[in-house]
Homo-oligomer: A and B are copies of this chain.
């Protein structure tokens, strides 16, 4: 692996999942690999799990970590080519990415979508600009349309907890007061298509994800029907993709409760709004995997960083 911008950068998902589980059992076995290597974690947006778990993963591998909050520690960046930079943006991505590349061996990047400019979000301007102008590998710590470290985490978690050869996995939309990105459901849909699972998506009409991503994944508008005999229920809110960034429904009927779950395992990427996305009774039960999922963030990141370090 030479970078990790999206799931397409994975050559062999099964082996990457196995590496993650191996690293979980022996996290400190490869510290020579990261010795005198530095990862720079660049945040355009706030983060708890990603910040801590990626830092932990890098430290487990013996790396140094430098974090930079691009909204507070540094200047605003210009991403347009040819622009005359006489307004508020003090540095061009061309210089920023090239310069940072000289201080670090791997760049981790966190940059959310606008949710107002569909075209710009789809182009992944920030992520792709860093990839283009950086001279070191870039790792996506959630971008406008993808969260591949979360998806790898989710794949590891399902591999660990599946009791059957081909589990049924349901991605269910759930209500939320604010407009949320598509990065997590997009990447989860992608990674499920790469695994040997029976996968479907359920959401209210109007919440169809980008069809280039969901492809031939069954979409079932009736949540009860979709959840039938599920082994894993992955709840997540997202805003409309067609009416880009809009909140079309806050229908609490879509909240996951124990009855709906019906002995399936519950998954969510966190942070999760209790009693909005999912009832307390689910999160506080043994059916919830959300804490184990968050733990796997470290080992997903560590598996990716290890492969990249081996290719530097």
Kindly state whether residue A216 has any CB partner on chain B within 8 Å: no
A75 to B50, CA, bound (A): 13
The answer to whether A276 and B84 touch across the interface, beta carbons within 8 angstroms, is: yes
A36 to B60, CA, bound (A): 7
- Copies of this protein in the assembly total 3
The answer to whether A273 and B94 touch across the interface, beta carbons within 8 angstroms, is: no
A68-104 CB mask vs B (1 if < 8 Å, else 0) is: 1100111100100111111100111011101110111
The answer to whether A280 and B82 touch across the interface, beta carbons within 8 angstroms, is: yes
The answer to whether B84 and A275 touch across the interface, beta carbons within 8 angstroms, is: yes
Interface hit among A115-123, A197-205, A288-296, A304-312: A288-296
Nearest B residue to A53 via CB reads: B103
Nearest B residue to A94 via CB reads: B283
Q: Which residue numbers of A lie inside 8 Å of B, CB to CB? A: 27-28, 36, 38, 40, 43, 46-49, 51-53, 55-56, 59-60, 64, 66, 68-69, 72-75, 78, 81-87, 90-92, 94-96, 98-100, 102-104, 177, 270-276, 280, 283-284, 290-291, 294-295, 298
For A96, the chain B residues whose CB sits under 8 A away are 48, 271
For A271, the chain B residues whose CB sits under 8 A away are 75, 90-91, 95-96
A56 in complex: contacting residue of B47, B66, B274, CB < 8 Å? B66
The answer to whether A86 and B177 touch across the interface, beta carbons within 8 angstroms, is: yes
Q: 3 closest Cβ contacts across the A-B interface? A: A91-B271, A85-B273, A102-B295
Known: A40-B52, A59-B64. 20 other contacts (CB 8 A): A36-B60, A38-B59, A46-B74, A47-B74, A48-B99, A49-B99, A51-B68, A85-B274, A86-B177, A91-B270, A92-B274, A94-B274, A95-B290, A99-B291, A99-B295, A102-B291, A102-B294, A102-B295, A102-B298, A103-B298
Q: How far is the CB of A37 from chain B (nearest CB, A)?
A: 10
A273 to B96, CA, bound (A): 12
Q: How far is the CB of A142 from chain B (nearest CB, A)?
A: 14
A12 to B298, CA, bound (A): 37
The answer to whether A78 and B48 touch across the interface, beta carbons within 8 angstroms, is: no
The answer to whether B48 and A86 touch across the interface, beta carbons within 8 angstroms, is: no
A55 to B65, CA, bound (A): 10
A50 to B16, CA, bound (A): 37
A52 in complex: contacting residue of B49, B66, B298, CB < 8 Å? B66
